[in-house]
Amino acid sequence: MMETKKISKVDLIFEDIDPREILTRVKGMSATEIIEEVLESGLKGRGGAGFPTGMKWKFCSEEKEKDKYIVCNADEGEPGTFKDREILDRVAQKVYAGMTIAGKAVGAQTGIVYLRGEYKFLLPQLRAELEKFHKMIHELGFDFRIDFRIGSGAYICGEESALFESIEGRRGEPRNKPPYPTSSGLFGKPTSINNVETLVNSVIILKYGSEFYKKMGTQFSTGAKVFSVSGDTPKPGIYELELGMSLLEFVNEFGDGDTKAVQVGGAAGFCVPRKLFASTVIGFEGVPTGGSMKLFNSSRSMYNVLHNYLDFFNEESCGQCTPCRVGCQQLLKGVESVKRGESKSTYIDELVKLAATMKVASKCGLGQSVGNAFNSIVENFREEIIY
């Protein structure tokens, strides 16, 4: 039986703290000490892939190059996610502090915030905050500068290597991996790319210590996380909750009493039906999420839900690799064709196999994750999809 936690709200991300105090302490720490602390905390990336942040920094710090980069991924394109916007709006200084800490840990002097195009309206305020921040770290003796780059509205540019391509002035298409960003990222230099929330978590860890941090969440999913709750809920919004609760707990808190399924992790995530609420852990050991939690009640057509996701992928795939570019079209046209009765209902099984191929043969995380939503919805709501 997996460990589950009771639902527990915390207030750390948005807590109003003075970054000067933490950075003063960090100034006195060695890179190894910072990395050890973050490793010890068990922090995993909040951008979706869940890679241990301490490891990422360690790999990057071990690279011998002189020029390295810290990139803050603020492209937030996952449908139903709006937590990074909220963080930048309310506690930008903590994001900058996280980047500065990361910079010290890996040995980078340059930080870049890649901001989602739709969030451009935040820029004047973010720049004003940054000016204050630069002044402060200059006084503290940090050799670190942060700059902004604005995305152009493509979901795929949130994928780290496509994001680098975009900053470098090319079409946002994911690269082959390896090499990984920590050895060859932005402009071919070692790069640590971290989500907005991940960076703020590193500040929390350095303020309160890894021991404190680990007490939150579970063994595999330490800490808390900001959730963007949407869909059929009386309480849509942003909530910071400890990881590791069961989905049932979550639905009891946020559902409208008629929840039939929850899409955990946005379009790239999984659709969990009511019968699995109790046994589903929200966390890296169960169903991970970049933060999006979308609830569906019984008035919803799961065919429409699936169709929406497929439409989204069909538009947002970069189109460079075969399984994803053509696969997305086939999934979309396929369910339409079955719905209209033009293809046999068993054609759905071919599509499930196709989605499995897309998972293993696509070039990047986008194509690899289309099958999550597709197969979980089709398996659990087959009748709704076919008839």
Partner 1 sequence: MKKNKMVNLKINNQPVSVPEGSTVLQAAEKLNIHIPTLCNHDDLCVAGNCRVCVVEHKGARTLLAGCATPAAEGMDIMTNSLKVRNARKHVVELLLSEHRADCTKCYRNQNCELQELANEYSFGDHIFLDLVGDHEAMIDDASCAIIKDDSKCIRCQRCVRTCSQLQKVSAIAVSGKGSEMKISTFHDRPISHVVCTNCGQCVNRCPTGALTEKNYIDSVWDAIYDSGKHVVVQTAPAVRVALGEELGYDPGERVTGKMVTALKQLGFDSVLDTDFTADLTIMEEGTELLTRLKKALVEQDKETALPMTTSCSPGWVKFIEHKFPEFLPNVSTCKSPQQMFGALAKTYYADNRGVDPENIVSVSIMPCTAKKFEANRPEMRDSGYKDVDYVLTTREFAVMIKQAGIDFRTLEPSGYDSLMGDSTGAGVIFGATGGVMEAAIRTAYEIVTGKPVPFDNLNITPVRGMEGVKEASLKIEGCLKEWSFLEGVELKTAIAHGLTNANKVMTAVRNGEADYHFIEIMACPGGCIGGGGQPIPTNMTIRQSRIDAIYEEDMSLPIRKSHENPEVQAIYKDFLGEPNGHKSHELLHTHYIERVPY
Ligand X SMILES: Cc1cc2nc3c(=O)[nH]c(=O)nc-3n(C[C@H](O)[C@H](O)[C@H](O)COP(=O)(O)O)c2cc1C
CA-to-CA distance for 223 and 41, rounded, in angstroms? 8
145-150 β-sheet, strand order: 145-150, 110-115, 69-74, 191-195
Q: Which does 343 bind (CB under 5 to 8 A by kind): ligand SF4, partner 1, ligand X, none?
A: partner 1
Beta strand residue intervals within 32-124, DSSP E: 69-74, 110-115
Q: Which is nearer to ligand X, 19 or 365 (CB)?
A: 365
Q: How far is the CB of 330 from partner 1 (least distance, A)?
A: 5
Instruction: Answer yes or no whether residue 321 interacts with ligand SF4 by CB under 6 A.
Output: yes
Q: Are 101 and 28 in contact (CB under 8 A)?
A: no
CB atoms near residue 20 (< 10 Å): 15
Scanning residues 272 to 331, which ones bind partner 1 (CB under 8 A)?
313-323, 325-330
Tokens 């915390």 sit at which residue?
Answer: 10
353 binds, among ligand SF4, partner 1, ligand X, none (CB under 5 to 8 A by kind): partner 1
The reply to whether 140 sits near ligand X by the rule CB under 6 A is: no
The nearer residue to ligand X, 301 or 357, going by C-beta atoms, is 357
d(CA 137, CA 125): 19
Task: Tell me the per-residue interface mask from 168 to 197 with ligand SF4, x by CB under 6 A, - otherwise.
Answer: ------x-----------------------
Binding mask 147-166 for ligand X (x = CB under 6 A): --------xx-xxx------
Distances (CA, A) of 124 to 111, 128, 184, 199: 18, 6, 32, 21
CB 171 within 8 A of CB 165: yes
Binding ligand X (rule: CB under 6 A), the pick from 77, 172, 255, 273 is: 77
- Indicate whether 120 belongs to the interface with partner 1 (CB under 8 A): no
Interface residues with ligand X (CB under 6 A) are 45-49, 51, 73, 75-77, 155-156, 158-160, 193-195, 198, 364-366
